[in-house]
Amino acid sequence: MWKPPTVIANTTRGRTTEETRRQYMSEHEISVTVNGERHELAVEPRTLLVTALRDELGYTGANVGCETGRCGTCTVAVNGETIKSCTRLAVQTDGAEIETVEGLADDGDLTPLQESFQEHHGLQCGYCTPGMLLSADALLATNDDPTREEIREAIEGNLCRCTGYQNIVDAIEATADRLGERR
């Protein structure tokens, strides 16, 4: 049986985290408000918004699926506009109001849309779900009675490999119906 090394290899090449971090990064101070909470943070110029949200601030709900703006798993709202947060640099959002999936439920109470996703089995692995919810919310904010085709178009930029989309469309349609009844 092979014996694992007890001496750490290559440690002479390594440096301690914080010291080198300051040394090799040129960082910018920015402030963002995420789900109503203000944060000050230092980011490299090239840091993507999704990376800052996930790695610096701990909002891991937005996921990274492609880094090219195609899959939509990183969808968040910036100043009310739904965007793919891998297509925006964190420094570009200095001073912005950002909404992520973590901000949807109120003290653990799911929103009607979230409830509807559960009722209609609109998610399986859940990886695309945060982005889907944000895109669907954006649709429902501007169109309170969308057709199924309009719903499909609204989530066209959010890929899902598990559900075949039908139950997601059902969930969004049912939410619109439910919100319509309340009006």
Partner 1 sequence: MSDADASGDSGDDGSGAFGAAIERGEDVPLLTGSGEYTDDISRRGTTHLAIRRSDHAHARIENVDTGDAEAMDGVLAVYTGEDVVESGVPNTIPTAWDLPGLVQPQYRMLATDKVRHEGTAVAAVVAETPHVAHDALERIDVEYEPLEHVTDPVEAVERDVSPVHDEAEDNVAFDFELGDADATDEAFADADRVASVDLRQPRIIPNAMEPRAALADWDETTEKLRLWMTSQNPHLHRMLLSAGTLGLPENKIQVIAPEVGGGFGSKIYHYPDEAVTAWCSMQLGRPVKWQATRSESYLTDCHGRDHVTTGEIALDEDGTIRGVRVETHAGLGAQLSQFGTATPSYLYATVLSGQYTIPAIHCRVVGAFTNTTPVDAYRGAGRAEGIYVIERLVDVGARELGMDSVELRRHNLVAPDEFPYESAAALVYDSGEYERAMDLALEHVDYDELRERQRELRDEDRYIGIGVGNFIESAGLSPSGLAGDLGAQAGGWESSIVRFDSTGSVTVLAGTADQGQGHRTTYAQIAAEELGLSVDDIDVVEGDTDRIPQGMGTYGSRSASVGGGSIARGAREVREKARRIAAHQLETSVDDIEFEDGEFHVAGAPDRSLHIQAIAHEAYLGHDLPEGMDPGLEETNFYDPENFTYPFGTHVAVVEVDPETGEIEIERYVAVDDCGEIINPMIVEGQVHGGIAQGIGAALYEGAAYDDDGHLQTRRMDEYAVPHATQLPDFETDNTVTPSPHNPIGVKGVGESATIAATPTIVSAVVDALEPFDVDHLDMPITPESVWRAAETGGDR
Residues within window 126-155 making contact with partner 1, judged by CB under 8 A: 126-130, 133, 148-149, 151-153, 155
Sole binder of partner 1 in the list 29, 31, 121, 177 (CB under 8 A): 121
Contact 120, 99 (CB under 8 A): no
**Angle, nearest 10°, between helix axes 129-142 and 166-182?**
40
Of 2, 38, 181, 183, which one interacts with partner 1 (CB under 8 A)?
2
Nearest to partner 1 of 97, 150 (CB atom): 150
Which span (26-34, 89-97, 115-123, 175-183) binds partner 1, by CB under 8 A?
A: 115-123
Tell me if 87 contacts partner 1 by CB under 8 A: no
Q: Are 56 and 43 in contact (CB under 8 A)?
A: yes
Taking CB under 8 A as the criterion, the residue among 30, 49, 52, 160 binding partner 1 is 160
Please check whether residue 133 is in contact with residue 117, taking contact to mean a CB–CB distance below 8 angstroms.
Answer: yes
Q: Which of 38, 121, 32 is nearest to 78 (CA)?
A: 32
| Complex with partner 1: residue 34 or 96, whichever CB lies closer | 34
Q: How far is the CB of 180 from partner 1 (least distance, A)?
A: 21
Q: How many residues belong to the site for partner 1 (CB under 8 A)?
A: 76
Taking the complex as a whole, the smallest distance from the CB of residue 32 to partner 1 amounts, in Å, to 17
For residue 99, which phi and psi values (nearest 5 degrees)? -120, 130
Question: CB-based contacts of 19: which residues, under 8 Å, 6+ apart?
Answer: none
